[in-house]
Structure 1
């Protein structure tokens, strides 16, 4: 069976393990990994970069790995990972998407190809709080279209119900009015 076909039928495969970055709640950025066992002994991996403070799923992909390729993949993650129950992994991913949608943000296009690994169509139980103290906090990332994001957040920032940290160029402060 091809990787594409496996991904479409991922919910039928047993979950082996799930991982999340240890510092996701403090940093606002979670790396979530879901591993499902394929009948031939390989693993189907779903990896998700999730902004739990504001944007939801920033990137996602799936891959079929041999068992001896899983540990090296996990070890290359920049933040140390810890095991997490599957339903908690789903709650982080799907809850962040739900939170981000309140502010007009949709998951990255890459989400469509790998959302079956976390059964995105199935209801989930919210188990975590999102945002920073319940409000969106946008922290500019290197691949973000910051101007577009800030324009979407502008009404919430003006009313004090959203906050941001933007990268500054060579020591210059970035002013909110420059973005919006």
Structure 2
């Protein structure tokens, strides 16, 4: 009856239940149905990326994504090189699962993963700003297909350079899902060239040695203390 659009009160009348019992029944049935759906097929509650994520990337084949990131079109926004993505999917009636990815879009691919976490849907109003608190601008809402394209595209680019994604990526990717086959192509690297910017937990010497081997001299750039 619920599938035909019947309200809980109508269901209660037909089944001889109190309205509160019918409401609880509808909720339980919905939760059981959702539990049988694969994580990457569950409804998307929200998806975001930091403003300026597209700086230096080739988005000629994704003009709508480029236009939506006005900060990324500025000469030096100070945000280039990283896409911080957060995805929230419906878990059950009033709960969501959030998963996050820190993506080096210039070189290393997925550097860090926020493991899937279940929380109340109302908590997103405080969790999202906290997740992006290191940025000066509010995050941009995006479609899950764009998030999938950024994450999986960056992973493929990094693997071509000799780098694997961070631990936990496989588990988090189950919630993200694979990108559609007809997705736009993003040109990774800074202005078409691998660019390594060292981080606090990197081994810069090893990274540069890998780039030297996979790219060859003068075919990559880096900023690191070796």
User: Which range, TM-score by smaller chain?
Assistant: 0.7 to 0.9
Residue number in structure 1 paired with 2:75? none
* CA distance in 1 between partners of 2:161 and 2:214 (Å): 8
- Work out whether 1:56 is the aligned partner of 2:114: no
TM-score (norm 1): 0.81
Contact 1:16–1:36 under 8 Å retained in 2 = yes
Q: Per-residue deviation at 1:12? A: 2.8
Q: 1:10 aligns with which of 39, 51, 66?
A: 39
- Work out whether 1:23 is the aligned partner of 2:81: no
Task: Note the alpha carbon deviations across 1:137-156, whole angstroms, 9 max, x for none.
Answer: 00011121222212211235
Q: Per-residue deviation at 1:123? A: 4.8
The structure carrying a bigger helix percent of its residues is 2
Residue number in structure 1 paired with 2:15? none
* CA distance in 2 between partners of 1:99 and 1:59 (Å): 16
Contact 1:87–1:124 under 8 Å retained in 2 = no
Q: 2:172 aligns with which of 111, 114, 132?
A: 114
Flag as ranges the 4+ runs of structure 1 deviating above 6 A.
none
3-state SS of 1:57 partner: strand
Bigger mean CA offset, 114-123 vs 146-155: 114-123
TM-score (norm 2): 0.66
Q: 1:70 aligns with which of 124, 136, 146?
A: 124
| Residues 69 and 84 of structure 1: CA distance in aligned 2, closer, same or farther (over 3 Å) | same
Task: Note the alpha carbon deviations across 1:21-78, whole angstroms, 9 max, x for none.
Answer: 0011221101001110112321111100000000000011221111122122211122
Q: Per-residue deviation at 1:82? A: 0.7
| Residues 125 and 10 of structure 1: CA distance in aligned 2, closer, same or farther (over 3 Å) | same
Q: Please list every run of 5 or more consecutive structure 2 residues that lacks an aligned counterpart in the other structure.
A: 1-34, 56-79
| Residues 112 and 85 of structure 1: CA distance in aligned 2, closer, same or farther (over 3 Å) | same
3-state SS of 1:75 partner: helix
3-state SS of 1:109 partner: coil
